[in-house]
Structure 1
Amino acid sequence: MLEFGMPTLIENRTLEDNIALCKELGLSFIELNMNFPEYQIDKIEDVEWFYKKADEAGVYYTIHLDENLNVADFNPLVRDAYLETVRRTIEVAKHFVELKNRYGKKEQPLTINMHMHHGIYITLPDKKVQMYERDFDVYMDYFLRFKKSCEEWIGDADIHIAIENTNGFREYEKKAIESMLESACFALTWDIGHSKGTGEIDVPFILDNKSKLSHFHIHDGREIPPKNHLALGDGEIDLIDRLNVAKACNARCVLETKTIKALKKSVEWIKNDGN
């Protein structure tokens, strides 16, 4: 059976509010979003408190890294800060593995979700030049270092970092991702709403790497005009098809709507139509 969780929602000002909603809806886990001030690394490092709150409710956590995370930033001070954030997040996640084993699927590693940062581009009269494309060798070197560091930091812990599609992987990003997926420490997240909103341009790449799919962000969406994070049933996505792929991959699924109302509607859709 598929295991469903929820994102941290902006309407919920506290962890307790999110946990109460997770419990009420019969969901298994909460994806802690490090874009929120209350889930910054210095906050979630209070692992005993976070662990206790989840354990009392019978739920567990996955973690979503800051969307601004850029481990290939050309500025070494900025790059090192992001790398240190990942290192410390992995240490936090190690404490949450036991929660995952107690209340979730033991056979699926605990997920730390990350985005690929496109980097900056320079606008010329006739085109835009992506700096990471121009300086690809430097970019790739930073990602090879990142991969090696993550392998050292994770060690034999039951954790992996899942790379999420957003608004279309760039070609230089695909090459970096392919290198990372060679490691057992990395996997893929398929965000089906982002995928729909970009005309499914990432689907061939994702399906070519289907064996590495372990995490899904499930929400409905539309292609024209692009729209996502809709409640399930409110868009144009073939949700049953996507859920069947998730089942085949034994993946966990975040019902990644942005409001409590849409989350509740999505849970009802899963109960009534998702089977």
Structure 2
Amino acid sequence: MPTLLEAASPESAAALCRELGLQFVELNMNLPEYQEWDFPLLQRVASRYQIYYTIHLDENLDPCYFNPHVAKAYLDAMLDAIEAAKRLRIPVINMHLAAGVYFTLPGEKVYLYDRYRERYLERLQAAIAHCEKAVAGAPLVICLENTGDFALPYKRAALELFLQSPLFGLTFDIGHDQTAGNRDKPFFLEHWNRLRHFHIHDAAQGKNHLPLGTGVLDIPWYAALAEKTGSRAVVEVKTIQALRDSVQWLRKQGLGPIIS
């Protein structure tokens, strides 16, 4: 399950996770509750409710930012999350691949990471090296999540660079892909063996994070792909009721492998 605003504290999230028979909570680093790591609390809660954690990094995190002071702050946040994951035995860190700043010109949108692609990829390579050093062989994978724009040429180049490292894998957000016209699906099918994580939620008419079974997605097909690749899956809806309804729908569909 994701971190929900209605159950944002570690205790309330873990209690709901256990009640619904789910296995893990994806801690959302955007929330104030997770700006500092309270390791004794997180360990105690995980043990009490027999759950574990994954991490969703700050959605704005961008270690390739051209301003070196800003980039360092983002990289430090990423390295801090890696150390926390090692300490808490977290198997997956999820992150977005930032699009960066763009200029809107007459008739086109110019992404600075595309215009200065060589510099961008150099910074990315340096960030990857820092992450590899920090992980140091721990059983951890950092997964890149699609937000509907993996088809952008500079993002494709960045993803190919990430996937040269065994530390990195892919998160398939199936709702984001649907609302983007399924533009990301070909990339995931081409690199299916690097899938390690899924964000599952329904979608329809440009709306994301709908309860499962209320949109147009073929959820069983994606569940089969998740099972084939040995991936974890987050039921990424936004309210407790939507999560309850989605878990109930999964069970009615016989999709038990996603649920403990």
Give the superposition deviation at 1:201: 0.2
Q: Which of 126, 144, 151 is the equivalent residue of 1:145?
A: 126
Report the equivalent of 2:66: 74
Q: Which of 231, 245, 252 is the equivalent residue of 1:265?
A: 245
Identical positions, percent: 44
Give the superposition deviation at 1:11: 1.2
Q: Which of 229, 232, 235 is the equivalent residue of 1:249?
A: 229
Aligned residue pairs total 254
Q: Residue type of the partner of 1:210?
A: W
Q: Which of 172, 183, 191 is the equivalent residue of 1:190?
A: 172
Higher normalized contact order (CA 8 Å, seq sep 6+, divided by chain length)? 1
For the pair 1:160 / 2:123, whether they are aligned, the reply is: no
> Aligned partners of 2:200, 2:162: CA distance in 1, in Å?
24
CA displacement 1:101-131 (0-9 Å, x = unmatched): xxxxxxxxx1000001101111222222111
Q: Which of 203, 217, 222 is the equivalent residue of 2:199?
A: 217
- Calculate the TM-score normalised by the size of structure 2: 0.95
CA displacement 1:36-79 (0-9 Å, x = unmatched): 11112xx22x2122111111110000000000001110110000
- Calculate the TM-score normalised by the size of structure 1: 0.90
Report the equivalent of 1:240: 220
For the pair 1:24 / 2:6, whether they are aligned, the reply is: no
Report the equivalent of 2:258: none
Report the equivalent of 2:32: 37
Equivalent position SS for 1:7: coil
CA displacement 1:6-48 (0-9 Å, x = unmatched): 00001124221111110110000000000111112xx22x212
CA displacement 1:190-249 (0-9 Å, x = unmatched): 001111111110000111111100000011111xx3111011100000001000000100
Where structure 1 has 5 or more consecutive residues not aligned to the other structure, the ranges are 1-5, 101-109
Contact 1:240 1:274 in 2 (8 A): no
Report the equivalent of 2:4: 9
Q: Residue type of the partner of 1:181?
A: L
Report the equivalent of 2:156: 174
Give the superposition deviation at 1:274: 4.0
Q: Residue type of the partner of 2:145?
A: E
